[in-house]
Amino acid sequence: MVNRPRDLTEKIATLRRDYQQGFTLDVALVDPDPFEQFTEWFNFAVKSGIREPNAMSLATVNGDGKPSVRVVLMKDYSEAGFVFYTNYQSRKGIELATNPHAALVFLWVDLERQIRIEGSVSKISEAQSEAYFNARPRSAQIGAIISAQSSVLSSRDELQKKKQELELNSEGKELTKPKEWGGYCVSPTQFEFWQGQASRMHDRIRYQLVNNAWVIDRLSP
């Protein structure tokens, strides 16, 4: 049994709040285009000053149908989809190579909002990944080069040594993007915008891509 303090157990039972931002969400009020609706909410999230508004949970599924989820940063979006950067040989990279579908969640808890996105995933072009890599701070470039993301490390020192070696050997030289590092684009076939409301009467508006048109429905909370 997990040994946790009694007051923490009591606290969990009482962690409950009523949502009261007062934003309304309705089929008749949302933009017919989910990307426009996303822009409206994302812009609001950025302007409201919440931390890491571009952080999104990314769920992937492996060859055995088992899901895994982690947070990544959305670095761009357009009608083509939502872009994030990572290591193609990481766990998520291996899962996406087997099953190129993903689900995303943006949670903006201070705004009582959640956006869910589902779609197919493809690698973006090498040129686009290179341009992004070249624009990153050198420390982030070094991190991307030395980390065989998701592989087991014997110790923190092992990584630290790799970092020092690269810093020494690359002094004054430009760093180049490793082959296994780059971007993915999630092309949505479904969005859901969730707005918390009082008394658990939450609003859920879903967009589904059917025959190249977005069909909008309200879902039960």
Ligand X SMILES: Cc1cc2nc3c(=O)[nH]c(=O)nc-3n(C[C@H](O)[C@H](O)[C@H](O)COP(=O)(O)O)c2cc1C
Active site residues: 200
> Nearest distance from residue 157's CB to ligand X, in Å?
20
Which 58-97 positions form the footprint of ligand X (CB under 6 A)? 68, 70-73, 84-86, 90-92
Residue 149 binds ligand X (CB under 6 A)? yes
Nearer to ligand X, 71 or 215 (CB): 71
Q: Which is nearer to ligand X, 82 or 214 (CB)?
A: 82
SS3 string, the chain, reads: CCCCCHHHHHHHHHCCCCCCCCCCCCCCCCCCCHHHHHHHHHHHHHHCCCCCCCEEEEEEECCCCCEEEEEEECCEEECCEEEEEEECCCHHHHHHHHCCEEEEEEEEHHHCEEEEEEEEEEECCHHHHHHHHHHCCHHHHHHHHHCCCCCCCCCHHHHHHHHHHHHHHCCCCCCCCCCCEEEEEEEEEEEEEEECCHHHCCEEEEEEEECCEEEEEECCC
For ligand X, which is the closer residue by CB, 128 or 150? 150
Q: How far is the CB of 85 from ligand X (least distance, A)?
A: 6
Binding of residue 129 to ligand X (CB under 6 A)? no
Among 150, 187, 190, 208, binds ligand X (CB under 6 A): 150
Q: Which of 182, 130, 139 has the alpha carbon at shortest distance from 163?
A: 139
Q: Minimal distance in Å, beta carbon 33 to ligand X? A: 26
Of residues 30 and 74, the one with the C-beta less far from ligand X: 74
Residue 192 phi, psi dihedral angles, 5° rounding: -140, 125
**Residues in region 162-221 near ligand X by CB under 6 A:** none
In the complex, what is the shortest distance from the CB of residue 143 to ligand X, in angstroms, rounded to a whole number? 10
Q: Given the complex with ligand X, which of 72 and 102 has the nearer CB atom?
A: 72
Is residue 57 near ligand X by the rule CB under 6 A?
no
Provide the minimum distance between the beta carbon of 11 and ligand X in the complex, in angstroms, as a whole number.
24
Distance of CA 91 to the CA centre of its chain: 15
Question: Of the candidates 104, 110, 118, which has an alpha carbon nearest to the alpha carbon of residue 45?
Answer: 110
Residues near ligand X, by CB under 6 A:
52, 55, 68, 70-73, 84-86, 90-92, 149-150
